[in-house]
Structure 1
Amino acid sequence: MCYKISNTAGKEEIEDVFNATFKFPKLHEKTPVIDGLVESPISIIKMSNREEITLAIWGLLPETFQDDWQYFQNVQNTLNVDLKGIEEDPKYENALQERRCLIIATGFFTYYLHEGNLYPYYVHLPSNEPFAIAGVYNELDDGFVTCSIVVSKANEFIKEIHNSDTSMPVVLNTFNQDMWLDANTSQELIETIVETTSELSFHAHTIAKEFHKLGVDFDSVLEPVSYKNVPKTK
């Protein structure tokens, strides 16, 4: 469901919200649309180092993989994974126990299908501040880090504006962020976090259909655009 996210927060704001510092501060860029269908870096915090914000490529690779990232994603898309996929797919072996991470974003996108047309929505906090999405990651022999967004059942708010499937990213409040990164958190509690509806209050609005285009990148892409006969939200 989630193949694009947004991160328009500045370095200092992110460091302040997550009480962590960037490993490569000069590489951080505000990005209205991060497209997972191309090889895209995203900011994450790994459970192995909770005080450091580092970069990972969105789209998990098996730890022993040595070929091209794009080739693997064309064969098997790993941008998103649900709890069942993590537990049953060999490339996620032990990831839920040993390689959890926070994926930093300021928004994600949903689609509403109406009379044969898809209408994109931008979902964000009212303050537009960064928040954490649950993720898992693999680290290759050369230190290359790749990750997947963990998804679960959509809450009632997202269901109103997303009728093409029934999932959404697992968004973590501050308490659950700490639990997600804690190596001592039990498997039972991890599963409960994934299956629990986020307490964060999101806003959403429709945006320009040009958002569908691969590689779209213009400053106004996140601005509201009105359409008839699609749900209105805050």
Structure 2
Amino acid sequence: MCYKISNTADRTAIERSFDISFKYPKLHKPKPVINGLAESSVLTINQNNQSEVTLAIWGLLPESFQEDWQVYQDIKNTLNIDVEEIDQNSDYIDALQHRRCIVIVTGFFTYYLHDGELYPYYVYSETEEPFGLAAVYNELEDGFTTASILVSEANDFIKKIHNADALMPVILNKDDHNLWLDAKTESTDLELLFHTPNQLKLTAHPIAKEFHKSDIIYDSVLDPVEYKNIPNIKRIRRMD
């Protein structure tokens, strides 16, 4: 699953990469780690407003939900939705059909389990540019937007450094952004997107294990760290 992401890009880099402006430009601050297990905001491009980057609370809430975010997440973690399980929940189906969005990131995190210990990896684009993850959103009665990132089976590259589970975020190719946000896109085409290999050139490196042992964010949190007996080259490049 994907419970932490990164967005170190400034506003200019995001506007250049996505050819879009910000609705609230002063609210964006680059963050090396965005922890979904705490109530956090993510940058999104929504289906009903494709001309501006806006904010959403990470963790999908039902549109009629009126209690605190944490209350719902304690009962049902909705930071991620497995694409293979969407058809098991009518709320997810409705969001997929009518409220799709793109979550903007510069990276996400995976975990390699070895001898009973977890080793975190930071995964990002070779160019270190921001990219988009497939997501869905709900608009609450109080005006806030909440979102969930879609996950699917990990590709061969991610499997090399992620054996804690078999899932990864659905990365959208740039050419598919419009298709993902288009209200007229057929469900069969959406299904195809989930299983089309993304063209983004990914790279990754292990980072300090303190990353998942505390909520402290420090300047070097994304820096490479070398360990013995795990995939340990500083940068593992996607070869497929």
Which TM-score band applies after superposition, normalised by the shorter structure? over 0.9
How far, CA to CA, are the matches of 1:49 and 1:214 in structure 2?
A: 36
Contact kept? 1:61, 1:91, Cα under 8 Å:
no
Contact kept? 1:63, 1:91, Cα under 8 Å:
no
Q: Which residue in 1 is equivalent to 2:88? A: 88
Q: Which residue in 2 is equivalent to 1:197? A: 197
Q: Which residue in 2 is equivalent to 1:10? A: 10
Question: What residue identity is the alignment partner of 2:64?
Answer: T
Q: Which residue in 2 is equivalent to 1:50? A: 50
2:163 pairs with 1:163: yes
Q: Percent identity?
A: 56
State the secondary structure of the residue aligned to 2:49. Answer: coil
Q: Which residue in 2 is equivalent to 1:216? A: 216
State the secondary structure of the residue aligned to 1:51. Answer: strand
- TM-score with structure 1 setting the length: 0.97
2:121 pairs with 1:121: yes
Q: Which moved more, 1:224-233 or 1:84-93?
A: 84-93
How far, CA to CA, are the matches of 1:137 and 1:215 in structure 2?
A: 26
Question: What residue identity is the alignment partner of 2:53?
Answer: I
Question: What residue identity is the alignment partner of 1:27?
Answer: L
Q: Which runs of 5+ in 1 are unaligned?
A: none
Q: Which residue in 2 is equivalent to 1:111? A: 111
Q: Which residue in 2 is equivalent to 1:173? A: 173
Question: What residue identity is the alignment partner of 1:36?
Answer: G
Question: What residue identity is the alignment partner of 1:63?
Answer: E
Contact kept? 1:101, 1:136, Cα under 8 Å:
yes
The CA deviation string for residues 133-155 of structure 1, in whole angstroms up to 9 with x for no partner, is 00000111111100000001100
State the secondary structure of the residue aligned to 1:138. Answer: strand
The CA deviation string for residues 48-102 of structure 1, in whole angstroms up to 9 with x for no partner, is 1111100000000011111110111111100000123322213324111110000
The CA deviation string for residues 3-30 of structure 1, in whole angstroms up to 9 with x for no partner, is 0000000001101111111111111001
Question: What residue identity is the alignment partner of 1:221?
Answer: V
Q: Which residue in 2 is equivalent to 1:41? A: 41
Q: Which residue in 2 is equivalent to 1:229? A: 229
Could you tell me how far 1:114 is from its partner in structure 2?
Answer: 0.3
Contact kept? 2:99, 2:138, Cα under 8 Å:
yes
Could you tell me how far 1:200 is from its partner in structure 2?
Answer: 1.1
Q: How many pairs does the alignment contain?
A: 234
2:217 pairs with 1:207: no
State the secondary structure of the residue aligned to 2:77. Answer: coil
Question: What residue identity is the alignment partner of 2:140?
Answer: L
Q: Which runs of 5+ in 2 are unaligned?
A: none
Contact kept? 2:84, 2:152, Cα under 8 Å:
no
Could you tell me how far 1:196 is from its partner in structure 2?
Answer: 1.7
Question: What residue identity is the alignment partner of 1:135?
Answer: A
The CA deviation string for residues 96-140 of structure 1, in whole angstroms up to 9 with x for no partner, is 111000000000000000000100000001111100000000111
State the secondary structure of the residue aligned to 2:32. Answer: strand
2:80 pairs with 1:77: no
- TM-score with structure 2 setting the length: 0.95
Runs ≥4 residues deviating over 6 A: none
Question: What residue identity is the alignment partner of 1:229?
Answer: N
Contact kept? 1:136, 1:147, Cα under 8 Å:
yes
How far, CA to CA, are the matches of 1:35 and 1:15 in structure 2?
A: 23
